[in-house]
Amino acid sequence: MSNWLLASIEKKPSIAGIKDDAGLQQVLTSDCKIVFVLYGDILNVGSIVKTLKDHGKMVFLNVDLIDGFSNRDISVHFLKQNTQTDGILSSKASMIKAAKAQGLFTVHRFFLIDSFSYNNLGKQVEISQPDCIEIMPGCMPKVIGWVVEQVSIPVIAGGLVCDREDAEAALKAGAKAVSSTNPIVWAL
Protein backbone atom coordinates (compact mmCIF):
# COMPACT_ATOMS: atom_id res chain seq x y z
CA MET A 1 0.00 0.00 0.00
CA SER A 2 1.21 3.48 -0.77
CA ASN A 3 2.70 5.34 2.17
CA TRP A 4 0.40 8.25 1.32
CA LEU A 5 -2.71 6.09 1.48
CA LEU A 6 -1.70 4.45 4.75
CA ALA A 7 -0.72 7.81 6.27
CA SER A 8 -4.05 9.28 5.18
CA ILE A 9 -5.99 6.42 6.80
CA GLU A 10 -3.97 6.65 10.00
CA LYS A 11 -4.48 10.42 10.17
CA LYS A 12 -8.22 10.24 9.47
CA PRO A 13 -9.73 6.77 9.77
CA SER A 14 -13.08 7.67 8.20
CA ILE A 15 -13.71 7.13 4.50
CA ALA A 16 -16.67 8.78 2.84
CA GLY A 17 -18.92 6.54 0.80
CA ILE A 18 -21.14 8.34 -1.69
CA LYS A 19 -24.11 6.76 -3.44
CA ASP A 20 -25.64 9.66 -5.37
CA ASP A 21 -25.09 13.23 -6.56
CA ALA A 22 -26.33 14.64 -3.24
CA GLY A 23 -23.59 12.68 -1.45
CA LEU A 24 -21.07 13.92 -4.01
CA GLN A 25 -21.93 17.53 -3.26
CA GLN A 26 -21.85 16.92 0.49
CA VAL A 27 -18.45 15.21 0.48
CA LEU A 28 -16.82 18.09 -1.40
CA THR A 29 -16.87 20.23 1.74
CA SER A 30 -16.00 17.41 4.17
CA ASP A 31 -12.51 16.84 5.49
CA CYS A 32 -12.53 13.22 4.29
CA LYS A 33 -9.58 12.72 1.97
CA ILE A 34 -10.61 9.28 0.69
CA VAL A 35 -13.93 8.73 -1.09
CA PHE A 36 -15.52 5.44 -2.12
CA VAL A 37 -17.81 6.12 -5.09
CA LEU A 38 -20.72 3.66 -4.97
CA TYR A 39 -22.70 4.84 -7.98
CA GLY A 40 -22.39 6.10 -11.51
CA ASP A 41 -22.46 4.88 -15.05
CA ILE A 42 -20.16 4.65 -18.01
CA LEU A 43 -21.23 8.14 -19.15
CA ASN A 44 -20.76 10.09 -15.91
CA VAL A 45 -18.05 8.23 -13.98
CA GLY A 46 -15.29 10.40 -15.46
CA SER A 47 -16.96 13.63 -14.38
CA ILE A 48 -17.66 12.27 -10.88
CA VAL A 49 -13.98 11.39 -10.47
CA LYS A 50 -12.85 14.75 -11.90
CA THR A 51 -15.07 16.67 -9.50
CA LEU A 52 -13.64 14.78 -6.53
CA LYS A 53 -10.03 15.10 -7.74
CA ASP A 54 -10.55 18.85 -8.29
CA HIS A 55 -11.39 19.01 -4.57
CA GLY A 56 -8.27 17.11 -3.48
CA LYS A 57 -9.90 13.75 -2.82
CA MET A 58 -8.41 10.29 -3.32
CA VAL A 59 -11.02 8.38 -5.33
CA PHE A 60 -11.90 4.69 -5.32
CA LEU A 61 -14.62 3.48 -7.69
CA ASN A 62 -16.75 0.46 -6.89
CA VAL A 63 -16.56 -1.19 -10.31
CA ASP A 64 -19.26 -3.67 -9.31
CA LEU A 65 -21.78 -0.81 -9.08
CA ILE A 66 -21.02 1.25 -12.18
CA ASP A 67 -23.85 0.87 -14.70
CA GLY A 68 -22.68 -0.22 -18.14
CA PHE A 69 -19.56 -2.00 -16.90
CA SER A 70 -19.01 -5.72 -16.96
CA ASN A 71 -16.91 -7.72 -14.56
CA ARG A 72 -14.10 -7.90 -17.08
CA ASP A 73 -10.60 -6.49 -17.23
CA ILE A 74 -11.63 -4.03 -19.96
CA SER A 75 -13.66 -2.06 -17.40
CA VAL A 76 -10.55 -1.46 -15.33
CA HIS A 77 -8.55 -0.54 -18.46
CA PHE A 78 -11.26 1.99 -19.34
CA LEU A 79 -11.10 3.57 -15.88
CA LYS A 80 -7.32 3.80 -15.95
CA GLN A 81 -7.25 5.41 -19.40
CA ASN A 82 -10.31 7.65 -19.14
CA THR A 83 -10.51 8.81 -15.52
CA GLN A 84 -8.20 10.04 -12.81
CA THR A 85 -9.32 7.37 -10.34
CA ASP A 86 -6.78 6.31 -7.75
CA GLY A 87 -8.20 2.86 -7.22
CA ILE A 88 -11.11 0.49 -7.25
CA LEU A 89 -13.31 -1.46 -4.89
CA SER A 90 -14.66 -4.84 -5.90
CA SER A 91 -15.90 -8.05 -4.37
CA LYS A 92 -14.36 -9.96 -7.28
CA ALA A 93 -10.75 -11.16 -7.09
CA SER A 94 -10.37 -10.99 -10.88
CA MET A 95 -11.21 -7.27 -10.90
CA ILE A 96 -8.75 -6.60 -8.08
CA LYS A 97 -5.99 -8.42 -9.98
CA ALA A 98 -6.80 -6.47 -13.16
CA ALA A 99 -6.65 -3.15 -11.30
CA LYS A 100 -3.34 -4.02 -9.66
CA ALA A 101 -1.93 -4.86 -13.10
CA GLN A 102 -2.96 -1.34 -14.17
CA GLY A 103 -1.18 0.22 -11.18
CA LEU A 104 -4.34 1.21 -9.33
CA PHE A 105 -4.87 0.92 -5.58
CA THR A 106 -7.24 -1.88 -4.66
CA VAL A 107 -9.76 -2.65 -1.93
CA HIS A 108 -11.23 -6.14 -2.01
CA ARG A 109 -14.70 -6.12 -0.43
CA PHE A 110 -15.90 -9.14 1.52
CA PHE A 111 -19.45 -9.73 2.66
CA LEU A 112 -19.04 -11.92 5.74
CA ILE A 113 -22.44 -13.48 6.17
CA ASP A 114 -21.50 -16.92 7.49
CA SER A 115 -18.57 -19.18 8.41
CA PHE A 116 -18.16 -20.27 4.78
CA SER A 117 -17.54 -16.70 3.60
CA TYR A 118 -15.19 -16.08 6.54
CA ASN A 119 -13.22 -19.28 5.89
CA ASN A 120 -12.90 -18.40 2.19
CA LEU A 121 -11.47 -14.93 2.90
CA GLY A 122 -7.83 -16.01 3.22
CA LYS A 123 -7.86 -17.85 -0.11
CA GLN A 124 -9.44 -14.89 -1.88
CA VAL A 125 -6.90 -12.44 -0.43
CA GLU A 126 -4.09 -14.73 -1.57
CA ILE A 127 -5.51 -14.72 -5.11
CA SER A 128 -6.24 -11.00 -5.37
CA GLN A 129 -3.35 -9.52 -3.34
CA PRO A 130 -5.25 -6.28 -2.59
CA ASP A 131 -3.84 -3.21 -0.87
CA CYS A 132 -6.68 -3.34 1.69
CA ILE A 133 -9.75 -5.39 2.38
CA GLU A 134 -13.13 -4.08 3.39
CA ILE A 135 -15.25 -6.22 5.68
CA MET A 136 -19.00 -5.87 5.43
CA PRO A 137 -20.98 -5.42 7.53
CA GLY A 138 -18.55 -3.34 9.54
CA CYS A 139 -20.57 -3.37 12.75
CA MET A 140 -19.22 -6.76 13.92
CA PRO A 141 -16.21 -6.02 16.16
CA LYS A 142 -15.61 -9.66 17.08
CA VAL A 143 -15.43 -10.70 13.42
CA ILE A 144 -13.25 -7.71 12.54
CA GLY A 145 -10.83 -8.89 15.23
CA TRP A 146 -10.72 -12.38 13.72
CA VAL A 147 -10.01 -10.95 10.26
CA VAL A 148 -7.28 -8.61 11.53
CA GLU A 149 -5.56 -11.62 13.10
CA GLN A 150 -5.88 -13.63 9.86
CA VAL A 151 -4.57 -11.13 7.29
CA SER A 152 -1.48 -8.96 7.15
CA ILE A 153 -3.00 -6.05 5.22
CA PRO A 154 -5.12 -3.14 6.46
CA VAL A 155 -8.78 -3.87 7.17
CA ILE A 156 -11.54 -1.35 6.53
CA ALA A 157 -14.92 -1.83 8.21
CA GLY A 158 -17.83 -0.82 5.98
CA GLY A 159 -21.54 -1.33 5.65
CA LEU A 160 -23.93 -0.60 8.51
CA VAL A 161 -21.37 1.60 10.26
CA CYS A 162 -24.17 3.92 11.25
CA ASP A 163 -22.77 6.11 13.99
CA ARG A 164 -19.74 7.06 16.06
CA GLU A 165 -20.23 4.10 18.40
CA ASP A 166 -20.11 1.59 15.50
CA ALA A 167 -17.04 3.30 14.05
CA GLU A 168 -15.17 3.39 17.36
CA ALA A 169 -15.96 -0.28 18.04
CA ALA A 170 -14.63 -1.28 14.60
CA LEU A 171 -11.43 0.73 15.08
CA LYS A 172 -10.96 -0.69 18.59
CA ALA A 173 -11.32 -4.21 17.12
CA GLY A 174 -8.38 -3.50 14.80
CA ALA A 175 -9.83 -1.96 11.64
CA LYS A 176 -7.53 0.73 10.26
CA ALA A 177 -10.47 2.72 8.89
CA VAL A 178 -14.23 2.74 8.55
CA SER A 179 -16.25 3.59 5.46
CA SER A 180 -19.76 4.95 5.65
CA THR A 181 -22.30 6.87 3.63
CA ASN A 182 -23.32 8.67 6.83
CA PRO A 183 -21.79 12.16 7.07
CA ILE A 184 -21.85 11.89 10.87
CA VAL A 185 -19.26 9.10 10.60
CA TRP A 186 -17.20 11.15 8.09
CA ALA A 187 -16.60 13.65 10.90
CA LEU A 188 -14.50 11.20 12.95
Range of the domain at 27: 3-186
Q: Domain total for the chain?
A: 1
CATH number of the domain that residue 85 is part of: 3.20.20.70
Contact 167, 187 (CB under 8 A): no
pTM of the model: 0.95
E strand segments, 54-176: 58-62, 87-90, 105-111, 132-136, 155-158
pLDDT digits (tens, 9 = 90+) for 164-182: 999 999 999 999 999 999 9
Does the N-terminal peptide bond of residue 137 adopt cis geometry, omega within 30 degrees of 0?
A: yes
Contact 116, 98 (CB under 8 A): no
In this prediction, residue 2 has a pLDDT band, given cuts at 50, 70 and 90, of low
Strand partners, 157: 135, 178
